[in-house]
Chains A and B, each alone.
Chain A
Amino acid sequence: MTQQTVKVKKNIVDEGIEAGLARLTPERIESVIQRVLNREAGARLKTYARTCVHCGLCSDACHHFVSMNRDPKLSPAGKVKRTIGVMMQKKGKVSKDFIREAAMVAYSECNLCKKCVLYCPFGIDVGYLMTLVRRICHLLGVVPRYMQDTAHSQSVHFNQMWINGDEWVDTLFWQEEEARDEAPDIRIPVDKEGSDIFYSVIGPEPKFRAQLIYQAAMIFEAAGSDWTMPGSPGWDNSDLCMFSGDNEMMGRNKRAHFEAAAKLRVKKIVMGECGHAFRSVYDVGNRWLGFKMPPIPVIHAVEFYHDLVCNGKIRILKKFAQPITLHDPCNIARGMGLYEKARELAHALCETVVEMTPNREHNICCNAGGGIINCGPPFKDKRVEANSVKAKQLFDAKAMGAEVVIAPCHNCHGGLEDIIHHYGVEMELKFFGDIIYEVMEKPE
Chain B
Amino acid sequence: MTLQTLYTIIAGPLAVLAITGFVLGCVYRIVMAVRQTASDRMVIEYFHPRYALRSILRWLTPYSTVNMRRHPIMTLVTFVFHLGMVVMPFFIFAHMLMVYEAFGLSWPTLPDVFVEWMSWAVLLALVFFLGRRLILPEVRYLTTLSDYLILLLIALPFFTGIWAYKGWWAAEWVTLLHMLSGEILLLAIPFTRLGHMVLFFMTRGYMGSEFGGIRHARDW
Interface residues of A (CB under 8 A from B): 39-48, 50-57, 59-61, 65, 70, 72-73, 75, 77-78, 81, 117-119, 121-125, 283, 287, 292, 333-337, 339, 358, 361-362
In the complex, are the beta carbons of B196 and A335 less than 8 A apart?
no
A283 to B214, CA, bound (A): 8
Output the least CB separation between A14 and chain B (Å). Answer: 25
Contact B34 A43 (CB under 8 A): yes
CB <8 Å contact, B200 and A122: yes
Smallest Cβ-Cβ distance to A39: which chain B residue: B39
16 contacts between A and B (CB under 8 A): A42-B40, A46-B33, A47-B33, A53-B147, A54-B144, A54-B193, A56-B141, A70-B137, A77-B142, A78-B141, A78-B142, A122-B199, A124-B203, A333-B217, A337-B215, A361-B218
A56 CA / B142 CA spacing, docked (Å): 7
- Give Cα distance in the complex from A336 to B218, angstroms: 10
Cβ–Cβ < 8 Å partners of B137 in chain A: 70, 72
Complex contact A51–B43 (CB within 8 A): no
Determine whether the beta carbon of B74 is less than 8 Å from that of A41: no
For residue B220, CB closer than 8 A to chain A, the reply is yes
Task: Report the Cα distance A158→B191, complex, angstroms.
Answer: 48
**Top 3 nearest A-B pairs by Cβ distance?**
A42-B40, A123-B207, A337-B216
CB <8 Å contact, A287 and B208? no
Contacts of B74 in A (CB 8 A): 57
Bound CA span A57–B147, Å: 15
Determine whether the beta carbon of A54 is less than 8 Å from that of B208.
Answer: no
Q: Provided the pairs A57-B67, A118-B219 are in contact, do residues A50 and B139 lie with their beta carbons within 8 angstroms?
A: no
Residues of B contacting A358 with CB < 8 Å? 66
Closest to B59 in A: A121
- B215 with A59: CB separation less than 8 A: no
Give the interface SS of chain B, mostly helix, strand, loop or mixed.
helix
Alpha-carbon gap, A358 to B207, bound state (A): 21
Whether A362 contacts B139 by the Cβ 8 Å rule is no
Q: In the complex where A41-B40, A119-B67, A123-B207 touch, is A51 in contact with B199 (Cβ < 8 A)?
A: yes
Bound complex: CA A43 to CA B30 (Å): 10
A residues within 8 A CB of B143? 54
Given contacts A292-B46, A334-B211, A336-B215, 16 further A-B contacts (CB under 8 A): A39-B39, A42-B43, A45-B40, A47-B33, A47-B36, A51-B199, A54-B143, A55-B132, A118-B219, A122-B199, A122-B203, A292-B45, A334-B217, A336-B216, A337-B217, A362-B66
Contacting residue for A56 out of B39, B42, B136, CB 8 A: B136
Q: Mark B58-69, 1 if CB is under 8 A from A, else 0.
A: 010000011100
B40 touches A44 (CB 8 A): yes
Main secondary structure of the interface of A (DSSP, over half): helix
Q: Which residues of B contact A (CB under 8 A)?
A: 29, 32-34, 36-40, 42-43, 45-46, 55, 59, 65-67, 70-71, 74, 132-133, 136-144, 147, 193, 195-196, 199-200, 202-204, 206-208, 211, 214-220
In angstroms, Cα B43 to Cα A41, docked, is: 12
Shortest CB–CB separation between residue B157 and chain A, in angstroms? Answer: 19
Distance of A51 Cα from B190 Cα, bound (Å): 11
Q: Which residues of B contact A52 (CB under 8 A)?
A: 193
Q: Give A52 to B200 CA distance when docked, in angstroms.
A: 10
Q: Which residues of B contact A57 (CB under 8 A)?
A: 67, 71, 74
- A60 and B137 CA atoms in complex are apart in Å by 13
B138:A47 contact, CB within 8 angstroms = no
CB nearest neighbor in B for A124: B203
Question: In the complex, what's the smallest C-beta–C-beta distance from A335 to chain B, in angstroms?
Answer: 6
Q: Contacts A40-B39, A73-B141, A123-B208; is A51 near B200 (CB within 8 Å)? A: yes
> Could you tell me the distance in whole angstroms from the C-beta of B128 to the nearest C-beta in chain A?
12
- A118→B70 CA distance, assembly (Å): 12
- A56 and B138 form a contact (CB under 8 A): yes
A50–B199 touching, CB < 8 Å: yes
Which residues of the other chain, B, contact A123 by a CB distance below 8 angstroms? 55, 59, 203-204, 206-208, 219
Contact assessment for B37 and A72 in the assembled complex, using a CB-CB cutoff below 8 Å: no
Neighbouring B residues of A45 by C-beta, 8 Å: 40
Please report the C-alpha to C-alpha distance between residue A362 and residue B139 in the assembled complex, in whole angstroms.
Answer: 22
A41-B40, A75-B138, A123-B204 known; A361 and B70 CB under 8 Å? no
How far apart sit A72 and B32, CA to CA, in the bound complex (Å)?
32
Question: Which of chain A's residues have a CB closer than 8 A to the CB of B138?
Answer: 56, 59, 65, 70, 72, 75, 78
State whether A334 touches B140 (Cβ < 8 A). no
CA A187 to CA B202, docked complex, whole Å: 52
Give the CA-CA distance A20 to B139 in the complex, in Å: 34
Write out the residue numbers on chain B whose beta carbons fall within 8 Å of the beta carbon of A53. 147, 193, 196
Residues of A within 8 A of B139 (CB): 54-56
Docked-complex contact A50 and B36, CB < 8 angstroms: no
Contact A72–B141 (Cβ < 8 Å): yes
Whole-angstrom distance between the Cβ of B138 and the nearest chain A Cβ:
4
Asked if A51 and B141 sit within 8 Å, CB to CB, the answer is no
Which residues of the partner chain B approach A361 to less than 8 Å between Cβ atoms? 217-218
Nearest-neighbor residue (CB-CB) of B140 within chain A: A72
